Amino acid sequence: MSADVWTVKAALDWTVGYLGRKGDENPRLSAEWLLSEACELSRIQLYVSFDRPLTGDERDRLRDFVQRRGAGEPLQYITGEVGFRHITVKVRPGVLIPRPETEVLVSEALALLPAPERPRWVDPEPQEAPEEARPAEEALPSRDLGDDAPARADEAPAASDAGAPTAAADAATAADATADAADAAATAADAADAAVPSDEALRVADLCTGSGCIACSLAFEHPKASVVATDLSPAAVALAQENVAALGLEGRVGVLCCDLGEKIPDRLMGTFDLVVSNPPYVPTAVVAGLAPEVRDFEPALALDGGADGNDFVRRILPWAARALRPGAGFALELHETCLDAAANIARDLGFSDVRITCDLAGRPRVLTGRRPGAPAVADVR
């Protein structure tokens, strides 16, 4: 870009053309994202601000973004965040980018948990003042929610696809059922206990958490979910902890740096209500054929699932068989070519209700099952 004045429209048109020549599959969408990020405008605001000139700083940011995107870097790494179900999480190079198919995994995981009770609003009996004591023109008082009212709109828990309540009271109840988040920093064992402490909470283990999008979504959408999330990558653990803090879930989600469930104490075995994981699952021979922006930019540690894609399945499911309480379930996201073999592994380990669910593109994607024992909790769909 030259030193001439660049308006939003001129910058958008130039970026679309540049990215198109670089082989971007959707250059206009990429250009909108990058220009929005550079100018701190929404995509809608771009189109009502065509004549607005870019500042020098905005042009410098856009130039950097466009060069990175032209080299094939994923948009999410450039913008630094991605929307995932009802939350937005931070992302950065070195950690797998959350994908839409993983939202299906969260839906299936929520369906394995007991549905949260919906709060009922009980209107108290009005205490009317005597007629003569009430001014004729008195306006009706507004309803005082007191301590049940969220301090900010964004603190109210969102309703989930599994029917999660929106009342702050339920979130407070769940928070009371968890340990002080400060204790989570002491030791690995304390961190696990801080994440899964009480009889009131539903204990969840999220293995290979990456950005923490699964753990955070489960805690955000189910008011009684208390999650211990693990990852072998220190970069992923640091990012997951940032997302936990940014979403205000420190008392509901604890993050451990370890291999699968290695640092989760043995005393917690048999007490979990759910084990969920999006592990590395791409067969080794398939990794080389992935799209360049995935193969060349996202961490191989989070992609390669071994020769048949099921290396981690053979480690996670035996651990889940020990970790889950009778009747509790697991949910795994896997490669479309691996689901049948993975289902057989689950059945051989004694899991019941083993089921395969397709993703939004109709491809086999999620494996679920339950540890036999107590009657299974009814699915919520």
Nearest to 177 by CA among 114, 266, 115, 251: 251
Rounded CA-CA distance 193/264 in Å is 8
Q: Has 364 been labeled as part of a binding site?
A: no
Amino acid at 157: P
Task: Find out whether 281 is annotated in a ligand binding site.
Answer: yes
Q: What is the DSSP letter of 46?
A: H
Q: What is the crossing angle of helices 56-70 and 27-39, to 10°?
A: 150
231 is in an annotated binding site: yes
Is 130 annotated for ligand binding? no
Residue type, 43: R
Candidates 198, 121, 106, 215; CA nearest to 165 is 121
Taking the C-alpha atoms of residue 191 and residue 186, their distance in angstroms, rounded to an integer, is 7
Long-range Cβ pairs for the range 357-360 (8 Å, 24+):
357/104, 357/108, 359/100, 359/101, 359/104, 360/100, 360/101, 360/104
Are the CB atoms for 216 and 202 separated by under 8 Å?
Answer: no
Q: Strand pairing partners for 329?
A: 274, 370
Residue 369 bridge partners (DSSP): 330
For residue 213, count other CB atoms closer than 10 A to its CB. 29
What is the rounded distance in angstroms from the CA atom of residue 258 to the CA atom of residue 231? 6
Separation CA 17–CA 21 (nearest Å): 6
How far, in whole angstroms, is CA 82 from its chain's centroid? 10
C-alpha dihedral sign at 92, 93, 94, 95: positive
Token readout for 52 is 């607005």
Of 306, 260, 312, 311, the C-alpha closest to 285 is 306
Residue 223 is assigned to a ligand binding site: no
- Detail the residues annotated as belonging to a binding site for S-adenosyl-L-methionine: 231, 278
- Detail the residues annotated as belonging to a binding site: 231, 278-281
- Detail the residues annotated as belonging to a binding site for substrate: 278-281
